[in-house]
Structure 1
Amino acid sequence: MAARPGRWLWTCRIGFEPHLYEELAWAGAEPRVLGEALVESEGKQGLVLAFARQSFRVLASFPGAAPELAPAMAQAVAALPASAPIVLQAFTPDTPRGNALAAEADALRETVRGLLPANRLLEDTDRARETGAQLVSLCVAPGAVTVGVVPAREALSLAPGGRRRMKRAGESPSRAAMKLEEALDGLPFEPGRGDVCVDLGAAPGGWTQRLVSRGAKVIAVDPARLMPELASNPRVRHVQESAFAFAPEEPVDWLFCDMAWRPLEVAQLLAKWGRRGWASHLVANIKLPMNDKNPILLRVRHTLTEDGGWKGLTVRQLYHDRDEVTVTAHRR
């Protein structure tokens, strides 16, 4: 199903289209599921969606990625105002059928890129926001290619399709390390040398390890054992007790939490930390129930902000998240 020009296209994790649809419907954005991992809607200002990876305004749609269609795609891109540079990306929906088109998407991007004036293209994606660039996407899906644009400063992610793949360090004890790396990548600053962090539910130590590698000191709270190299690290203090029973001796810089526990109980725990001023910054992973994901997330948001006093709250299902979301917030 082709996206309609002037509307917005949203990407999400496969299987979560109904939840993204529900968020958009609650916002009155008239959503429509286009296919696996793709939802279309009316443009609405200020939407804060947990299940969206990326979004852009649709410029045009084409029936496939045939090379002869590339000039028309380039024409749609070239019609954008020349006042801002363009970052041109191509991606496929994050699905088995979509991933099979990856080579096709790469080839199409190179063809369209060659038809655009070189002086309008910005190659350094990391500078897209600071230069005020336009993020232009070619979404190559089964049966259709959608060309869209979003100002880089408003983009949910600078990664193509919102698929921010983090490299898995060989010594990392679990996939959890990549979830943390992606969460920190989206923040304006990160924990660093001298910062004191508490890691609730730390074992076996994926998040603790990444924090220590940045020079931070970590209080790792978990009844289970840590990896031996972490347990003996002078910058790690292992407190073998329940996260729900632990209280810090003094306020810390960062609170981290990645516990496989009921979401509302975790939210209440994190709210207690905010309410008592025990930490300045929060990064946590909230596991989602099988049903009623959006209603539960509404209650999580309310608990963290109204009961906990956390500010600047973000709730996002990141690329490395599965049946879960990542929340970030601060106290000041």
Structure 2
Amino acid sequence: MPAQTLAARPGHWLWTCRAGFEPHLYEELEWAGANPRLLGEALVESEDVPSPPPAFARAGYRVVTSLTGRTPEETAEEAARAVMALPGRGPRVVQAFTPDTPRGNTLTAPAEALEAAVRARLPSERLLDDAQRAREAGALLVGLCVAPDGVTVVGAVPAREALSLAAGGRRRMKRAGESPSRAAMKLEEALDGLAFEPGRGDVCVDLGAAPGGWTQRLVARGARVIAVDPAKLMPELAANRRVQHVQESAFSYAPEEPVDWLFCDMAWRPLEVAQLLAKWGRKGWVRHLVANIKLPMKDKNPVLLRVRHTLREEGGWEGLTVRQLYHDRDEVTVTAHRMK
């Protein structure tokens, strides 16, 4: 890790990640031939965008310019000029963020001030305030990364190609008071990134459901849930008419008929979980998949390669995404679908 934050180079890509996962993101980009460079805590640069996108990246922006040694006024002026010079006539979503680290979080106030100053210098008709509408509006996401050591990076990415619509990929979900665990927030963030989500009339299977964090959020959406776990659910869920509790192992359970969604958040060995999810895809038991896969302390990238291969080649899952989301820790969230 460099002693001080390095400025990202224009034309390259700036990636944000969870603090402590820079080596894993760097290795992932290196394996993809993207020529990465560590910039500082939670920040990695690369020359190219790999395919598939890096699992350990929360967000990625093509660098427009890096500003160092400027006053706040000068930084705002130069950043605004850079945004105005971006190609395309569509709307812009301007978002300032800091690296998700102790040092980065001390810069929240300057980042908010920079965002306000840049927005004030741009024509209001070119700005889109609702980031959640950015994809349908064909907007450009503009990221203003305010980093330690006086480094500010201006980057941009079309919203339809963005890993996340949240500034810097930090999609904070509110923890509902009745939710039993952090698991509910992981699910909410995973569903937030999908084009559609389970709703009224959908049948969902929740493998490893107890105590019921994911089942609870699915029922709140109007879905019917088959909760599979030998352990007990929360009493209010066990009594819910739209919850069927099957008290058996997730590895031995088979649905009586195909279902709409498969959810899985089990603290189990990742390759065994991947093989289980592949079985559901191969047998045509379900159309949509959302799963959380725990990672080992070491060799995370080799395990992820095997997980991807298992789901694609053995399970036939399509549209596979593997991402470490904001609410994930030593884990990744997987989404995929099967054609009829």
Class of the TM-score when normalised by the shorter of the 2 chains = over 0.9
| Rounded Cα–Cα distance in structure 2 between residues aligned with 1:45 and 1:25 | 10
TM-score normalised per structure 1: 0.97
**Candidates 297, 302, 324, aligned match of 1:295:** 302
Secondary structure of the equivalent of 2:45? strand
Q: Please list the CA deviations of residues 37-64 of structure 1 after superposition, one character each: whole Å capped at 9, or x if unmatched.
A: 1000102364421111111111111126
Q: Does 1:167 align with 2:174?
A: yes
Amino acid at match of 2:113: A
Q: Over aligned residues, Cα RMSD in angstroms?
A: 1.2
| Rounded Cα–Cα distance in structure 2 between residues aligned with 1:12 and 1:166 | 17
Amino acid at match of 2:86: L
Match of 2:239?
Answer: 232
Which consecutive unaligned segments of at least 5 residues does structure 2 have?
A: 1-5
**Candidates 31, 41, 61, aligned match of 2:46:** 41
Match of 2:281?
Answer: 274
Q: Does 1:97 align with 2:103?
A: yes
| Rounded Cα–Cα distance in structure 2 between residues aligned with 1:98 and 1:249 | 51
Cα distance, 1:114–1:263 mapped onto 2, change above 3 Å: same
Q: Does 1:284 align with 2:291?
A: yes
Say if 1:64 and 1:142, in contact at 8 Å, map to a contact too: no
Match of 2:3?
Answer: none
Secondary structure of the equivalent of 2:248? coil
Match of 1:130?
Answer: 136
Once the two structures are overlaid, the 10-residue window that deviates more, 247-256 or 114-123, is 114-123
| Rounded Cα–Cα distance in structure 2 between residues aligned with 1:47 and 1:259 | 25
Say if 2:29 and 2:50, in contact at 8 Å, map to a contact too: no
Secondary structure of the equivalent of 1:73? helix
Say if 2:34 and 2:50, in contact at 8 Å, map to a contact too: no
Cα distance, 1:291–1:65 mapped onto 2, change above 3 Å: farther
Match of 1:75?
Answer: 81
Say if 1:27 and 1:47, in contact at 8 Å, map to a contact too: no
Amino acid at match of 1:38: L
Q: Please list the CA deviations of residues 127-171 of structure 1 after superposition, one character each: whole Å capped at 9, or x if unmatched.
A: 211222111110001020101111111111110001111111111
Q: How does 1:1-332 map to 2 (within 5 A)?
A: 1-44=6-49, 46-63=51-68, 66-69=71-74, 70-81=76-87, 83-143=89-149, 144-332=151-339
Say if 2:263 and 2:289, in contact at 8 Å, map to a contact too: yes
Secondary structure of the equivalent of 1:327? strand
| Rounded Cα–Cα distance in structure 1 between residues aligned with 2:50 and 2:243 | 44
| Rounded Cα–Cα distance in structure 1 between residues aligned with 2:213 and 2:114 | 38
Say if 2:225 and 2:243, in contact at 8 Å, map to a contact too: yes
| Rounded Cα–Cα distance in structure 1 between residues aligned with 2:218 and 2:57 | 27
Runs of 4+ in 1 over 6 A off after TM superposition: none
- Count matched residues: 332
TM-score normalised per structure 2: 0.95
Measure how far apart 1:248 and its partner are: 1.1
| Rounded Cα–Cα distance in structure 1 between residues aligned with 2:37 and 2:194 | 31
Q: Please list the CA deviations of residues 181-239 of structure 1 after superposition, one character each: whole Å capped at 9, or x if unmatched.
A: 11111111111111111101000000000000011111111111100000100111111
